[in-house]
Structure 1
Amino acid sequence: MNLEQYINISVDSFYLGAQSDPAAQRYVFAYCVNITNNSTESVQLLRRYWQITDGNGKQTEVSGDGVIGVQPHLQPGETYSYTSGAVFETPLGSMQGHYDMLSASQIAFQAPIPQFRMAMPHILN
Structure 2
Amino acid sequence: MRATTIASAVLLVGGITASTAQADDPAVSIYTASQLGKAKFEPYGEHLYISDLVADGKSTVARLVVQGDTTYYYWNRTSAGSTRHVDMSLPEDRHVALVAYTGVWDGTVTGGIHWDSYDHMLEHVSTFS
**Taking structure 2 as the reference length, what is the TM-score of the superposition?**
0.48
Larger Rg: 2
Higher helix share: 2
- Higher relative contact order, structure no. (Cα contacts within 8 Å, ≥ 6 residues apart): 1
**Taking structure 1 as the reference length, what is the TM-score of the superposition?**
0.49
